[in-house]
């Protein structure tokens, strides 16, 4: 019985010794880790702050990306509409140019006929007593008012076509300039979007964070 008690006592002493060793090792490790834990406390707070800034930056970036996509889509539609309008105006310009050419030819013919009519009714022709041309002169005289009216109409049409041609040229120049401006705006939006994506990637990787107000101001500029 005493031997059993002796073994129990030895076992308890051994366990106490092991526990004491473990306690000492734990205390030693705790002492070693104490400075590291003190350094981690402000870092943990900084991580929380950085996470909050990242969330705000991401929300701003997402809103900006959506706005840029919408604006880019609208600008593409405007560019397509401007190009279509330019093609329509160009086609109308060529058509009116052809009509003006025909009008000039008709006006020239009418003027030639009027000169022939006036030459037939001149005093020199009457003095010769050329009766062979009397019938022709009578027919020409009956068309005098018609020719005069036709010439006036052709001159009016020519003036109108010239004004329309001038307007088409101005509109075509303005339309091409507008398309060029739209293309520059689309390129600017793509550049700004790429810049924001690079900034977002840098921020996500732990780089320096800019003020949120900076991106908001950029967005307002759009």
Token readout for 79 is 């560019």
Q: Which residue range forms the structural domain that includes residue 176?
A: 98-191
Instruction: Report the alpha-carbon distance of residue 199 to residue 205 in Å, rounded.
Output: 10
Is residue 22 included in any domain, yes or no? no
> Per residue in 153-211, pLDDT tens?
777 877 777 777 777 777 666 666 666 666 676 676 667 667 766 766 666 655 544 44
Confidence of residue 138 (pLDDT cuts 50, 70, 90): low
Instruction: Report the alpha-carbon distance of residue 83 to residue 103 in Å, rounded.
Output: 30
Instruction: Report the alpha-carbon distance of residue 170 to residue 208 in Å, rounded.
Output: 51
43 backbone dihedrals φ, ψ, rounded to 5°: -65, -35
Is residue 29 included in any domain, yes or no? no
- For residue 70, is pLDDT > 80? yes
Q: Taking residues 73-89, what's their average pLDDT?
A: 85
- For residue 17, is pLDDT > 70? yes
pTM for this structure? 0.37
Is residue 118 included in any domain, yes or no? yes
Token readout for 166 is 């001038």
Is residue 117 included in any domain, yes or no? yes
- For residue 68, is pLDDT > 60? yes
pLDDT > 70: what percent of the chain? 59
Structural domain tally of the chain?
Answer: 1
Is residue 82 included in any domain, yes or no? no
């Amino acid at each position: 019985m005493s031997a059993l008690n002796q073994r129990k006592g030895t076992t308890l002493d051994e366990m106490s010794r092991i526990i004491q060793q473990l306690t000492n090792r734990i205390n030693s490790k705790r002492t070693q880790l104490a400075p590291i834990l003190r350094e981690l406390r402000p870092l943990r707070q900084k991580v929380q702050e950085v996470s909050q800034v990242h969330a705000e930056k991401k929300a701003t970036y997402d809103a900006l990306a959506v706005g840029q996509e919408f604006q880019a889509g609208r600008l593409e539609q405007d560019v397509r509409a401007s190009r279509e309008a330019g093609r329509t105006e160009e086609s109308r310009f060529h058509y009116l140019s052809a009509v003006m050419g025909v009008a000039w030819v008709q006006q020239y013919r009418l003027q030639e006929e009027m000169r022939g009519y006036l030459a037939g009714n001149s005093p020199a022709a009457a003095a010769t007593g050329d009766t062979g041309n009397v019938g022709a002169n009578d027919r020409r005289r009956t068309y005098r008012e018609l020719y005069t009216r036709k010439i006036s109409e052709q001159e009016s049409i020519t003036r109108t076509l010239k004004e329309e041609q001038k307007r088409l040229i101005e509109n075509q120049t303005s339309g091409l300039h507008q398309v060029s401006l739209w293309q520059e705006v689309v390129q600017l939006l793509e550049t700004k979007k790429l810049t924001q994506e690079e900034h977002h990637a840098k921020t996500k990787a732990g780089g320096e964070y800019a003020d949120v107000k900076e991106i908001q101001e950029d967005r307002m500029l759009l």
